[in-house]
Structure 1
Amino acid sequence: MISSHEAAVHRLVVSADIRGSGRLDQHAKLLSRRAMYEVFEAAFDAIGVPIGQVHVEDRGDGVLAALGPAVPPAALVGVWLEEVHQGLREHNRGRLEPLRLRIAMHSGPVSDDGRGLVGRTVDLTCRLCDSEPAREVLAADETIGLVFVVSDVLYRTVVAEGGRFVEPECYAPYPVHFKETDETAWFHVPRRTRPPLPERGRSRQDGDGDADGDGDGDGRAADRPTGARRSGERRSGARRTGARSDGARSVAPTPAKYSITVHGSNQIVDGAEVHGNITGVSLTRDEDGDAERGGGDG
């Protein structure tokens, strides 16, 4: 076990989350949690690490775990992962509500302040587990019971070296952009040559929805400012085209430019949506219909 108030020590961190837990009733939640713990305990036993030697924090619909530096990471990305995969298959056989998991791993300095694990290593592991690409892999194929995500450094230093039940050629890189995270992570689905990741640029990251409908997206939609647009959409002022009745394509005029001064905090000026005090805005048109910039008090 990790002792309280210790200095940061290099450890392997595991974050796991049950897909769709927000839709389960109380009885189903209890069954899912029990099954998850049973699968993990059996997997740790398979690599010779009793669950009592693992620091485990319950997260309601998931767990956060850390292993001591004496445990070889290759055992986790190999035998341990295979045991989790087989345990899920056994548990889910014939069930209408199968247990499906997102699991992420990363290694680095970790501290324990007596209340739990602390450090950037923990932050990144949890965000990889909760990332939109990981959610979308499970959403893309209902037959997938497990998506596994590792950080770039863990892939390069551990997974890429191979080993028993380690399949580096079956991992695929994909960018994860969320909060302070800007990481190329590696995704894997056991027994698949490639995980069904979304097309580049089409993942609903940065709070744009909950891909798997968990209802446990950690308030990500609230992280986006009001009026923010999805990546790839054109900002206001872009020229737009459309079809005319005579078959020709019409071009909408570019909106007129104008002067604007914004005072106060929390301002968003996008598509005529403004919060806060505004001075110095006026827009007039001449007789020919052309926009002219008018004066104001700014």
Structure 2
Amino acid sequence: MLNEVSVPATRERSRVALVTCDRIPELDADDRLVVPALRERGVEVVPVAWDAAVDWASFALAVIRSPWDYVARREEFVAWAAKVPRLANPADVVSWNTDKRYLRELAAAGVPVVPTTWVEPGEAWEPPLVGEFVVKPAVGAGSLDSGRYNLVKAEHRELAAAHVARLQAAGRLVMVQPYLVAVDTYGETALLFFPDDGQFVFSHAVRKGAMLTGPDENVEGLYKEESIRPRTPLDAELEIARKALAAVPGGADRLLYARVDLIPGPDDLPVLVELELTEPSLFLGTAAGAPERFAEAITSRL
């Protein structure tokens, strides 16, 4: 247990931790874009690994950014979040959002969500004989441990079954979802939101290219590389994004940031793939003024 550190009030109000992991000690390149904007606003920025031995009470705010090694240690990560006195996003949101079972709640609230079959550890699963499907864990990040399977092919049915069994053997809940083919052409839309003057508002959006080209290849690292470019979202995408945010337990007004990931479904209407409230990339470098908007949101929260 660390000794209590006394911090002068004026310093405490302006000292912010940007939470990362020890594999990205100086922050992700995109997150570094917010640092100058914060310093211009009188904020001292300190990159800190989430599991570092520091006194979190010495920071006016801890902002979760890139702690992407938490997946294998989720329970430890959730317990850490609960002990940080001033955390964004809040610890209960972190607990809820780091397990994709939250999609069940959003679907029950009327949010159009990609259809999902949930396969518990030890539960039998038989691959369908037709269709393309995605297999991935309910606790995961960066598209790791995820694969795409064309189940018309006997080889892919075997690989999909082996993928499910491998995740189950590790005690992980498995998600099986139909592959939304529109991602290959239209792509995935990620919409970013920050608070502004008491309202949680849209900031910018990007198009994300398809990431899953075939079966899981056990890629190591923290994430798979993405193809990103700016996008102006459709009204229908904004509408569903706001509907998803309205269904967040405790309300979206407690959030410092949110990312809503959507892909057109078979009827071309967007469906929710993920609601990222814990450690999403914010793609600050894709939109003019985005780093400043995020910095202003942090400063206002102080």
Q: Above 0.5 in TM-score?
A: no
The bucket for the TM-score relative to the shorter chain is: under 0.3
Structure with bigger RCO (C-alpha 8 Å, 6+ apart): 2
